Structure 1
Amino acid sequence: MKTLVIFTHPNHNSLSYAFLQKVLEGIHENTNIKEVQVLDLYEEGFDPLLVFNKEKRRRDMHLDPKLEKYREQILWADQIVFVYPIWWGRPPAMLLGYIDQLFAADFAYAYKGGLLPEGLLKGKSVICVSTMKGPANYPLFFLRNAHKVLMKKALFHFVGIRKVKFFEFGNMESPKGKQTQKLNKIQKYFQQVKV
């Protein structure tokens, strides 16, 4: 199994970064995972800005040479792990900019004459590990699970990825947030995960 880990947080002293480290520790202890690549979007200097004009058309985004290495990473991976905070009920703009550009028509999905397009990334799995300041049940009760609906249904199912798991950890800035327990839970999960 080949795993791509996509990390999105500007601060390596953050709790999100600590979760990234636990993900990687678990992966390295997992005999099912043979190869791993890590993409730190901020450290990479990824440009999340969409640009469309006379020279750069949306329908050609799947051919953009600046995005080739990122497309290759996605195709290479059996499993994609996203580690990010939830800000304003959704992933950071940096990650959304990556998604906007990489999950493009004729790469992640294609219109083939049916009512809905066909997902082209079938067979892969996704795990989202996210943290938030608010209570764990806040997205469910106050936002009607907007984060999970956005990621699972509007994105991953659309491109053919059916196996999607979420870890949403709330109260992460509270002294009673059980951060160590949750970090250990993630490490243990990745020690055993299979596609």
Structure 2
Amino acid sequence: MKMLIVYTHPNHQSLSYAFLQEVIRGSGENTAVEEVRVLDLYEEGFNPLLVFNETKRRRDMHKDPELARYRDQLLWADKIVFVYPIWWGRPPAMLMGYIDQMFSSGFAYKETGKMLPEGLLKGKSVVCISSMKGPALYPLFWLNNAHKTLMRRALFSYVGIKQVRFFEFGGMESPRGRHQEKLNKVYQYFKKAN
């Protein structure tokens, strides 16, 4: 299994970075994992801004040469792991900008004239690891599970990815947040994931 980790947090002293390290550590002990690549969007200086003008059109985004390397990473990966915080009930704008550009028509899906398009990323699996300040049940009861619905239905299902796993941790700024227990849960999952 080839694994791409898309890490989205500007601080390498953050809890998100600690989760990234546990993904790498667990995967390194997993005989099913052939290779792991990490894309750190902030360190990379990824430009999340969409630009459309006379020379750059939305319908051509799937062949934008500036994004070719990122498309190749997604095609290469069997499992895509997203590690990010939840800010204002959703992933950071940096990650949303990556999604807007990478999961484009002609690359991640194609229109068929039917109600739903044909997903072109079939056979891949996704794991989303997110943490937030609010309580763990806040997204479910207050936001109607908007984050998971956005990621699972509006994005991954749309592009053909059916196998999606979430680790959504709340209360992470509390001293009673059981950080080590949650870090270990992620480590154990990736140590055995296939």
TM-score category, normalised to shorter length: over 0.9
Partner in structure 1 of residue 53 of structure 2: 53
CA-to-partner distance for each residue in 1:91-149, whole Å, 9 max, x for gaps? 00000000000000000000123222100000000000000000000000000000000
Amino acid at match of 1:186: V
Q: CA RMSD in A?
A: 0.5
Counterpart check, 1:94 vs 2:94: yes
Amino acid at match of 1:184: N
SS of 2:116's equivalent in the other structure is coil
Distance 1:69 1:126 in 2: 19
Distance 1:113 1:152 in 2: 22
Q: Report the Cα offset of residue 162 of structure 1.
A: 0.1
User: Comparing 108-117 with 52-61, which one deviates more in the overlay?
Assistant: 108-117
Partner in structure 1 of residue 77 of structure 2: 77
Partner in structure 2 of residue 144 of structure 1: 144
CA-to-partner distance for each residue in 1:126-179, whole Å, 9 max, x for gaps? 000000000000000000000000000000000000000000000000000000
Partner in structure 1 of residue 68 of structure 2: 68
Partner in structure 2 of residue 17 of structure 1: 17
Distance 2:173 2:160 in 1: 35
Alignment size in residue pairs: 194
Partner in structure 2 of residue 112 of structure 1: 112
Partner in structure 1 of residue 165 of structure 2: 165
Partner in structure 2 of residue 177 of structure 1: 177
CA-to-partner distance for each residue in 1:75-104, whole Å, 9 max, x for gaps? 000000000000000000000000000000
Distance 1:117 1:174 in 2: 43
> 1:115-126 maps to which residues of 2 (within 5 A)?
115-126=115-126
Distance 2:127 2:116 in 1: 25
Q: Which runs of 5+ in 1 are unaligned?
A: none
Identical amino acids, percent of aligned pairs: 69
SS of 2:84's equivalent in the other structure is strand
SS of 1:96's equivalent in the other structure is helix
Distance 1:182 1:39 in 2: 23
Runs of 4 or more above 6 Å deviation? none
SS of 2:164's equivalent in the other structure is strand
Q: Which runs of 5+ in 2 are unaligned?
A: none
Partner in structure 2 of residue 32 of structure 1: 32
Amino acid at match of 2:167: F
**Structure 1-normalised TM-score?**
0.99
Amino acid at match of 1:114: K
Distance 1:154 1:90 in 2: 13
Distance 2:190 2:131 in 1: 17
